[in-house]
Amino acid sequence: MKNHMQLQFSALSQNEAFARVAVASFISQLDVTMEELEEIKTVVSEAVTNAIIHAYEENPLGVVHIEASLEDGVVELVIEDYGKGIVDVEEAMQPLFTSKPELERSGMGFTIMENFMDSLEVVTAIDQGTRIRLVKRLAYAKALQS
């Protein structure tokens, strides 16, 4: 059975903590390890921070939408914004690439998302927004399969 949740909130930096705790609490119903939970929380933080800082340039009128689905030990996350979009996704996904070096960003957000999850998809359009889809199969589900 598939279990699904969605949330929408203002693009305020204090909501980054809210988003990571909300997603972690939803996922905790599965047999998830502490390490997996930490990875998923980090990934949510990275994607939500990107929406707040890059998509909306910290304009609190911006809206961030997140979804989480659980099915057979597979976690699917969607983090979506309706902000400025990414001009060159390939460049944006390079390790260490950042368009905001002045804010001391390290350009590692996408690399962290890729490393902690099994798959990462980015759909973006200029001035329409960006949708990030991340999928991870939890270890207990892999063990059941083999």
Write out the residues near Mg ion by the rule CB under 5 A.
50, 109
142 binds ligand ATP (CB under 6 A): no
Residues 64-93 that bind ligand ATP (CB under 6 A): 81, 83-86, 92
In one-letter notation, the amino acid at residue 111 is T
Residue 74 or 122: the one with the smaller Cβ distance to ligand ATP is 122
In angstroms, give the least distance from the CB of 9 to Mg ion: 18
C-alpha span between 72 and 129 (Å, rounded): 30
* Binding site residues, ligand ATP, CB under 6 A: 46, 50-51, 54-55, 81, 83-86, 92, 97-100, 105-110, 130
List active site positions: 46, 50, 105
